[in-house]
């Protein structure tokens, strides 16, 4: 792979600690969610993953729409990232991407969303490892 960019972030203290990027743009406390027995009140790895995936998928969708010469009024991607136990004593993730494409035919929006799923690096990284559900809003 030809590298276009490398993000470097260090986590100290696991789910109850801090994450900081090498450029200092990210420097935040992380906490376990209350639903997982934590204190809450700060971001967590699932929220950070959801932020990255939704932004990346949105960019892939925009690229596909441009290639297809489609000009929607607006696009939005909401990522719902869930964590739960797997059958091997560990944990796994599941993702639901809710995609909104306003101002173009629904069938064309559906096709663009499906194509974006094969363009997006997050989708390519999770394929076969994480259940990803696509929903056109």
Q: Give residue-wise pLDDT tens across range 37-50.
A: 999 999 999 999 99
Confidence band, pLDDT 50/70/90 cuts, at residue 19:
very high
Fold designation for 45-136 = GMP Synthetase; Chain A, domain 3 (3.30.300)
- Write down the pTM of the prediction: 0.94
Left if phi > 0, otherwise alpha if psi is -120 to 50, otherwise beta: which for 19?
beta
Q: What is the distance between the alpha carbons of residues 31 and 45, in angstroms, rounded to a whole number?
A: 9
Q: Crossing angle for the helix pair 45-67 and 106-119, nearest 10 degrees?
A: 120
Mean pLDDT (whole number) for 70-93: 97
Residues of the chain with CATH 3.30.300.20: 45-136
Residues of the chain with CATH 2.20.25.10: 1-43
Q: What is the distance between the alpha carbons of residues 30 and 102, in angstroms, rounded to a whole number?
A: 34
Per CATH, the number for 1-43 is 2.20.25.10
Q: Minimal CA–CA distance to 119: which of 71, 73, 77?
A: 77
Token representation of residue 100:
């909104």
């Amino acid at each position: 792979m030809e590298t276009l960019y490398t993000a470097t972030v260090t986590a100290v203290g696991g789910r109850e600690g801090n994450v900081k990027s090498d450029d200092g743009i990210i420097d935040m406390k992380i906490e376990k969610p209350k639903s997982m027995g934590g204190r809450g009140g700060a971001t967590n790895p699932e929220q950070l993953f959801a932020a990255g995936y939704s932004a990346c998928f949105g960019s892939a969708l925009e690229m596909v729409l441009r290639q297809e010469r489609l000009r929607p009024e607006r696009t939005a991607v909401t990522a719902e990232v869930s964590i739960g136990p797997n059958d091997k004593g560990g944990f796994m993730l599941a993702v639901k991407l809710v995609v909104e494409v306003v101002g173009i035919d629904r069938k064309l929006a559906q096709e663009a969303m499906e194509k974006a799923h094969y363009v997006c690096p997050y989708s390519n990284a999770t394929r076969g490892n994480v259940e990803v559900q696509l929903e056109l809003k």
